């Protein structure tokens, strides 16, 4: 795991050494083991290294192929590099890791090479013969890569703060994306909150050549799941277990200490169980435990640890410990998010125990209908005949329903019933909305542009998704928005803040493709993640499967009205003076929260605090 950076140019300058070094230094936390810089005819490349596979200097980056034609900087892991390497016998390898394999594969297959990779990666390859720079992001968007393109100049990096440190990218807020940030407590790729800075989409390749820039997809989530499997349920469960087991085993390759996050839930327990089956040594597991019984999961994590004889590391924390870490977590946010503090603290504790790699159970909910949104969307689709009723009548009906479901839900019901139809593109984005359109209009001065799936998918892909089974529509919706742009981005920025690599077996692209081929009938969650649980057989105790849903919930309301009140007040006051929010409305909103207005959730306030903290930390101008 590492950090990469670079920029193109037409004529060399004596400042380029300083510029590329500034870019890598800005993300030194991503790679404390080594750094490297390379300036060729037309491009400068930089790298910060976190050594995990082949710890020797022979895998240092930037790395040139043996001919000197291609130069690579790479962040991530290619788990099947040994299998690919075996197919490249004509290449004179000088190292033992996956980095040189990428160069060898690109030398042989060109841009088709990435279709051979199983892993998480963000990389850049300079071809000095074609004078072409290739940027690539993995299929599931696990590793980030941001870029700024202005005329014939392209600047790229693993983090936004690295782009800003180059001196080539103006630190100006992208006001057009503000409504989306309030809508989903993040901004979905390819947009970001920095003006003219974009993010490669998952499974996308960017090509810069002679001052021209274009992007194209080499793998699409929207194209998965269109051939629903009709095998017996038993056969599908068996195949699911096999693919998941292989995904876990692939991610256990490492030349440094490796462990696993273990909450005691279904997903993390499944990963630990399969790790134990693949390892001759005890698996190291890490669990956060609390004194407070209402959200302490240690009885379940200990049950799994004992069942599989893991070397267990319970890490006892308190709410006050999380509160103490908040300033550091805020400073570590490369792109603002309403989440992430949990990942920050768990990653720090794991790294402090001497580990550099950890496997996570992230992704099980998305693949196996684990979130409530799956059933909610399914239920709404059963009411699709309602959308034949004229929109004005539907709006009146939503208002009447508000008398029964409460003020907080009325706005969302109205939005749904006012939608032109009940299709994926119109309805799904409403399920995770934080600020409603009316609320955004009340407090924002800038018009901006709310989220639209047309930024994420082409019109053809949206039509294609709409033909999928209901649960697959939701799964793709989750993975392409909330998962990639909140959960995975937070996991990356918060774990890498402590130089910890987190691997996510559930997002193995082969497993994702398979899971999206399972019918709604087979995936129906009669009990939590039934299809996954049945696949695992007796690997999980019933007590873990049928346990009460828990999870640590921070006392945000009490914090924002107590120990965080002064911080929140200061940030909201500063934000109000930037000319992008209606200052009086912002203050009214803050006062309403303090006075107990039930429609003003704590997350709505926290998003404002995070935004202002991030802008101050990075010198972002409105």
pLDDT at 412: 67
Q: For the chain, give the longest Cα–Cα distance.
A: 73
At 372 the three-state DSSP class reads helix
Task: Give the active site residues.
Answer: 2
pLDDT at 330: 93
Domains 2-219 and 224-369+477-545 share a fold: no
The residue to which tokens 């490249």 are assigned: 88
With contact defined as beta carbons under 8 Å apart, do 276 and 301 qualify? no
Domains of the chain by residue range: 2-219, 224-369+477-545, 384-462, 556-618
More confident residue, 214 or 34: 214
At 158 the three-state DSSP class reads coil
Mean pLDDT of 408-427: 71
Beta strands at 311-316 and 34-39: parallel, antiparallel or unpaired: unpaired
Task: Tell how far CA 452 is from the center of its chain.
Answer: 18
Specify the CATH number of the domain 224-369+477-545.
3.40.50.620
Q: Sign of the C-alpha dihedral, residues 461, 467, 468, 474? A: positive
Task: Tell how far CA 26 is from the center of its chain.
Answer: 21
Q: Sign of the C-alpha dihedral, residues 602, 603, 609, 612? A: negative
pLDDT at 406: 47
Q: Rounded to a whole number, what is the distance in angstroms from the first to the last CA of the chain?
A: 33
Q: Where are the beta strands (DSSP E) in 59-150?
A: 63-64, 70-78, 119-127, 132-137, 146-150
| Separation between Cα atoms, residue 327 and residue 185, nearest integer Å | 19
Mean pLDDT of 284-294: 81
Per-residue pLDDT at 404 exceeds 50: no
pLDDT at 218: 96
| Separation between Cα atoms, residue 522 and residue 397, nearest integer Å | 35
Beta strands at 119-127 and 70-78: parallel, antiparallel or unpaired: antiparallel
Question: What confidence tens digit (pLDDT) does each residue in 229-269 have?
Answer: 999 999 999 999 999 999 999 999 988 888 999 989 999 99
Q: pTM of the predicted model, to two decimals?
A: 0.94
User: pLDDT-derived band of residue 410, with 50, 70 and 90 as boundaries?
Assistant: low
Specify the CATH number of the domain 2-219.
3.60.20.10
Mean pLDDT of 61-68: 95
Per-residue pLDDT at 55 exceeds 80: no
pLDDT at 429: 85
pLDDT at 405: 44
């Amino acid at each position: 795991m590492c950090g990469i950076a670079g920029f193109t140019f037409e004529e060399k300058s004596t400042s380029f050494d300083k510029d590329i070094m500034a870019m890598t230094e800005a993300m030194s936390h991503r790679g404390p083991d080594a750094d490297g810089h390379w300036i060729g005819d037309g491009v400068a490349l930089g790298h910060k290294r976190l050594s995990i596979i082949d710890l020797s200097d022979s895998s240092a980056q930037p790395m040139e192929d043996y001919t000197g034609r291609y130069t690579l900087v790479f962040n991530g892991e290619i788990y099947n590099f040994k299998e690919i390497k075996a197919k490249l016998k004509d290449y004179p390898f000088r190292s033992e890791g996956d980095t040189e394999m990428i160069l060898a594969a690109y030398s042989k297959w060109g841009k088709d090479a990435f279709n051979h990779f199983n892993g998480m990666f963000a990389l850049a390859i300079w071809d000095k013969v074609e004078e072409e720079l290739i940027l690539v992001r993995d299929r599931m968007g696990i590793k980030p890569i941001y870029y700024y393109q202005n005329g014939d100049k392209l600047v790229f990096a693993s983090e936004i703060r690295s782009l800003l440190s180059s001196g080539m990218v103006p630190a100006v807020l992208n006001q057009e994306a503000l409504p989306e940030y309030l809508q989903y407590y993040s901004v979905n790729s390819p947009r970001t909150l920095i003006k003219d800075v974009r993010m490669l989409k998952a499974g996308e390749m960017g090509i810069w050549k002679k001052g021209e820039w274009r992007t194209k997809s080499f793998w699409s989530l929207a194209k998965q799941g269109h051939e629903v499997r009709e095998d017996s349920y038993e056969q599908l469960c068996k195949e699911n277990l096999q693919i998941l087991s292989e995904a876990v085993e692939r991610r256990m390759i490492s030349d440094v200490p490796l462990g696993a996050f273990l909450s005691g839930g279904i997903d993390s327990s499944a990963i630990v169980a399969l790790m134990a089956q693949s390892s001759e040594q005890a698996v190291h597991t890490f669990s956060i435990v609390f004194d407070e019984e209402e959200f302490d999961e240690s009885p379940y994590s200990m049950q799994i640890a004992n069942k599989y004889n893991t070397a267990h590391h319970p890490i006892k924390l308190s709410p006050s410990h999380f509160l103490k870490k908040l300033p550091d977590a805020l400073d570590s946010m490369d792109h603002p998010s309403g989440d992430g503090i949990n990942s920050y603290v768990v990653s720090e504790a794991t790294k402090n125990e001497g580990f550099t790699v950890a496997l996570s159970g992230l992704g099980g909910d998305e693949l196996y209908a684990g979130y409530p949104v799956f059933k909610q969307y399914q239920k709404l689709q059963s009411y699709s005949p309602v959308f034949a009723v004229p929109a004005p009548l539907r709006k009146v009906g939503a208002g009447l329903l508000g008398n029964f479901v409460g003020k907080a839900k009325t706005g969302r019901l109205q939005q749904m019933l006012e939608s032109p139809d009940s299709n994926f593109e119109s309805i799904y984005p409403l399920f995770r909305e934080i600020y409603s359109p009316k609320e955004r209009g009340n407090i924002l001065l800038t018009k901006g542009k709310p989220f639209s799936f047309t930024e994420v998918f082409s019109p053809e892909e949206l039509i294609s998704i709409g033909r999928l089974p209901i649960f697959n529509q939701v799964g793709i919706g989750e993975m392409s928005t909330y998962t990639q742009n909140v959960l995975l981005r937070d996991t990356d920025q918060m774990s890498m803040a402590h130089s910890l690599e987190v691997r996510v077996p559930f997002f193995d692209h082969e497993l994702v493709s398979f899971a999206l081929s399972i019918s709604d009938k087979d995936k129906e969650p009669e009990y939590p993640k039934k299809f996954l649980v049945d696949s695992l057989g007796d690997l999980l105790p019933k007590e873990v499967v049928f346990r009460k849903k828990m999870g640590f919930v921070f006392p945000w309301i009490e914090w924002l009205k107590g120990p965080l009140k002064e911080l929140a007040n200061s940030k909201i006051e500063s934000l109000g003076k930037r000319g992008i929010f209606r200052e009086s409305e912002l203050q009214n909103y803050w006062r309403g929260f303090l006075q107990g207005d039930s429609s003003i959730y704590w997350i709505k306030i926290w998003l404002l605090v995070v935004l202002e903290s991030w802008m101050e930390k990075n010198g972002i101008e409105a």
